[in-house]
Amino acid sequence: MNNLYSVPKLEVEAKIAFPDSSKSVMTLFLSEHARAHSGYERLSDLLNGQDAFLPAKTIEDEFVVLNVESLLYVEVDAHFEFGDDTLDEAASELDQVLRLDIDVHLSDGSSLQGTIAYVLPPAQRRLQDVLNFDERFLIVRDHDRVCFINRRHIVKASPKA
């Protein structure tokens, strides 16, 4: 097959969790150019984008198409979302960035912990305001990993004590 018409993609290994509590390691594909901003496509662009189905490759090299709404969460190395910035470096770049450590309980009975970072007007800085964003996935960072949690599967979330 001629590669003249192929589109170069960055392959990203991700741990994907499904509502039935199963998990799989799969490869997702990011574009070299994002649609909405300069630079490469981030996983948040892909998951929160318009496409309802995404191609993926299993460990067995089988190509599958995933229904984005059916994903519980997707976890990857933080580098694919934030580049080489550490959480402290990324947060210190903007004085308006707020960070909150949270516990998130999901519909399959599991829970995840990490930090969310956001910029909102003073009257809308509550956790419920962040959870009510229009984006499909909530980004929760835990050091060198980032988890994209499908908001439809969040049962409850609370600030970490």
pLDDT beneath 70: ranges in the chain: 1-8, 33-39, 84-95
E strand residue ranges, 18-150: 23-31, 53-58, 63-67, 73-77, 98-106, 111-118, 137-142, 145-150
Residue 8's pLDDT is: 64
Residues 138, 156, 75, 99: is their CA dihedral positive or negative? positive
Domain spanning 81-159, CATH class: mainly beta
Q: Say which residue the tokens 């960035």 belong to.
A: 97
Residue 148's pLDDT is: 97
Residue 121's pLDDT is: 78
C-alpha closest to that of 48 among 149, 144, 132 = 149
pLDDT tens, 91-116?
Answer: 455 557 889 999 999 999 999 999 99
Residue 37's pLDDT is: 61
Residue 87's pLDDT is: 47
Q: pTM for the complete prediction?
A: 0.85
**Token code pair at residue 24:** 């799989």
Residue 6's pLDDT is: 58
Q: Where are the domains of the chain?
A: 8-75, 81-159
The length of the chain in residues reads 161
The residues with which 157 forms a beta bridge, in sequence order, are 104
